[in-house]
Amino acid sequence: MDIRRLTDRLGGLAYGGDYNPEQWDDEVWKEDDQLMRRARVNLATVGVFSWALLEPEEGRYDFGWLDAHLDRLHTNGVAVDLATPTASPPPWFTLAHPDALPVRPDGARLTHGSRDTYCLTAPAYRRAARRIATALAERYGDHPALALWHVHNEYVTLCPCDHTAAAFRVWLRARHGSLDALNEAWGTAFWSQHYTSWEQILPPRATQWHHNPGQTLDFSRFWSDETLAAYREQRDAIRAHSDRPVTTNLMVPSYQNLDLWAFGREVDLVSIDHYPGAPGVDAAAQAAFDADRARSFAGGCPWLLMEQGTNTVYTGDRVLAKEPGDILRHSLAHIARGSEGALFFQWRQSRAGAEQWHSAMVPHAGPDSRTFREVTATGEAVARLGELAGSTARAGVAVLHDSDAWWAMGADGLPSAELDYFAALRRAHRALWDAGRTVDFAHPAHDLSRYELVLAPALFLLTDAGAENLRRYVADGGTLLVQHFSGVVDERLHSRLGGYPAAPLREALGIRVEEYRPLRRDERITLSDGSTATSWSESLRTEGAEALAAYTHGMLTGSPALTRHAFGSGHGWYLSTRLDDAGYAALVQRLLTEAGAAPELPGLPPGVEAVTRHAPDGRAWHVLINHLSEPVPLPRPGHDLLTDGPLIELSPGGCAVLRAR
């Protein structure tokens, strides 16, 4: 990770956002310069949607206007995060290359007139993307304003067209080696799906009933690899002409189209976009969830919050405004967890066009507005946190997060529509967040030995190596909670035979699951310890574990629902149902206590977020956010960097950054 080069260049943490000056004129640019200075902006992302202006016709470039903006920003003390504009090809491109337009699963081809109107696998698109990336790198590779490269914008599209089919077949040959192996992996002996030539294989498109789950899982893997290949091509084209770090702004949404562990290994620094989907404390929990994912994909290194909504909370059918103070609180929630700054989408709210109602640092009302005053105050706060650069958060607990398991759980035909990978992951994180712990996400094959507690909330797919790694983690002293419907299938989606979960994990948990018994919608059951549960139950027997709670209904009456197994020097816990919120929170609290996973700054009440950033040289800072509407005395008074003064109490909704060491 190359984040140090960015913060050294900026002289502290990054503050700013997407800047689309091509929407404005000279008078506004002059005001921009002055307002950016006022808001302490030091980094602007430029050019994300500029393809049509930069290359008005194929192979003819017009860089003059961009030269002027880069020079102006540089003179004004603002460094540039220069984007390649490949997320929005111009109309001339799609008219010249209609085969590069994306196709829907039902075969309908989309048109231009929006953005992201391209198919990643179309050779014409890939050539055009490499060409514009190369042209930009040649021209600006060592421009003094340039601090960072921003490839593309949120790789999100999916397309099952004929170009994709051809590329998918190449990928499948490499993965499976032979058609026999593919037929075996996908279980095509059933439903007469046996393939006798590669050309018969298609990406998943609209079909009569269930898709083959092996086909959809492999397609998800393929698409992620293909997207990564497209990123790498641009990155390498840039690296041939520039030594500045390269990133792409990743989405960490509620669905998964990319294996972000793989992206984390290929970017010079991880950057993400975060848009909360709920107001209040839920927004804070979501920020923590995304920020912890970003740091984890960055291998624990510092990373960058590339975009956040300045004043918007997207709640489905309406866009809510943030509450006063949220701009600082949300920015600090990310910085606390290792972000080397806080950037927004976008600097100035569009007067026209597709994103006119997306909020911005300078709203339609102009600088005389609550939003801009908060933006300025947040900019001043971030400017005081320069000494945090290069430090990052550390966690003593982890939630397992595996891209394959997520994709696999999206397959058609599972036993309950309530099996939801993302929801399970969020719930585990939320319970730990509510308990005041900083959380890492970890892959089941990672070294887990640094964690006191590991939660595996939805590990439907688990490889032999992953199961063995978890067994070893428990044997070596770890505390592991595995939740229902985990360790069920291997990497080919083949069911584990002879009892679930996968054998080495069964050993660590001291149980054997014989039968899954999903509950009826809205059915609520009570366990022998008084806790209540919904959604799912399992028929299991202990093989060494002790039963901590049992079912009290139907044929499962008396059989274990929650178990704990002393194994080696650790403990393997298994929860075979979905506890209600209070029961789940109590279980997580019990696990934290038994595992000895203490908060880094004890003594704070629930509702006060405290995360510690650690520098390699031993210095550390507590970042505190009070979500309560009352003042909270600090367990240890300290020097607050935000006010540069002593602090003994956090005000309602207030924040502080204290030197811990």
List interacting residues with ligand GLA (CB under 6 A).
153-154, 273, 275, 307, 309, 345, 355, 358
- Residue 358 CB, nearest distance to ligand GLA (Å)? 4
DSSP state of 122: -
Kindly state the tokens that stand for 644.
């540069």
Taken as a whole, the chain contains a residue count of 661
Q: Which of 55, 226, 307, 340 is catalytic?
A: 307
Closest to 7 in 3D by CA, of 270, 336, 390: 390
Residue 608: phi, psi to the nearest 5? -115, 120
C-alpha pair distances (Å), 568 with each of 475, 487, 507, 565, 596: 4, 20, 11, 10, 17
Of 345 and 407, the one with the shorter C-beta distance to ligand GLA is: 345
Of 32 and 154, the one with the shorter C-beta distance to ligand GLA is: 154
Residue 59: other Cβ atoms inside 10 A: 8
Strands 14-19 and 339-344: parallel
- How buried is 462 (Cβ within 10 angstroms: 0-12 exposed, 13-18 middle, 19+ buried)? buried
- Residue 361 CB, nearest distance to ligand GLA (Å)? 12
Residue 31: other Cβ atoms inside 10 A: 15
- Residue 44 CB, nearest distance to ligand GLA (Å)? 14
Of 358 and 494, the one with the shorter C-beta distance to ligand GLA is: 358
DSSP per residue over 139-154, as a string?
HHTT-TTEEEEE-SS-
Closest to 541 in 3D by CA, of 568, 503, 509, 577: 509
Structural contact between residues 15 and 342, judged by C-beta atoms closer than 8 angstroms: yes
Of 306 and 561, the one with the shorter C-beta distance to ligand GLA is: 306
Strands 14-19 and 43-46: parallel
How far is Cα 617 from Cα 125, in angstroms, rounded to an integer? 46
- Residue 245 CB, nearest distance to ligand GLA (Å)? 19
307 a catalytic residue: yes
- C-alpha neighbours within 13 Å on the C-beta side of residue 98: 5
Measured CA angle at 636 (ends 635, 642), to 5 deg? 110
- Residue 563 CB, nearest distance to ligand GLA (Å)? 43
How far is Cα 205 from Cα 215, in angstroms, rounded to an integer? 11
Of 116 and 266, the one with the shorter C-beta distance to ligand GLA is: 116
Of 90 and 214, the one with the shorter C-beta distance to ligand GLA is: 90
Strands 146-150 and 246-247: parallel
- Residue 19 CB, nearest distance to ligand GLA (Å)? 12
What SS3 class is residue 194?
Answer: coil
- Residue 48 CB, nearest distance to ligand GLA (Å)? 6
DSSP state of 22: G
C-alpha pair distances (Å), 449 with each of 313, 440, 509, 596: 38, 13, 17, 14
Of 274 and 426, the one with the shorter C-beta distance to ligand GLA is: 274
Spatial neighbors of 590 by CB under 8 A, at least 6 apart, are none
- Residue 201 CB, nearest distance to ligand GLA (Å)? 34
- Residue 313 CB, nearest distance to ligand GLA (Å)? 11
Of 167 and 304, the one with the shorter C-beta distance to ligand GLA is: 304
Residue 79: other Cβ atoms inside 10 A: 23
- Residue 273 CB, nearest distance to ligand GLA (Å)? 4
C-alpha pair distances (Å), 132 with each of 71, 126, 238: 20, 10, 10
Q: Which of 27, 58, 138, 154 is catalytic?
A: 154
Query: Which runs of consecutive H residues, i.e. helices, occur in 59-208?
Result: 64-75, 91-96, 123-140, 162-176, 179-186
What SS3 class is residue 649?
Answer: strand
Of 277 and 603, the one with the shorter C-beta distance to ligand GLA is: 277
Of 306 and 642, the one with the shorter C-beta distance to ligand GLA is: 306
546 a catalytic residue: no
Catalytic residues, by residue number, are 154, 307
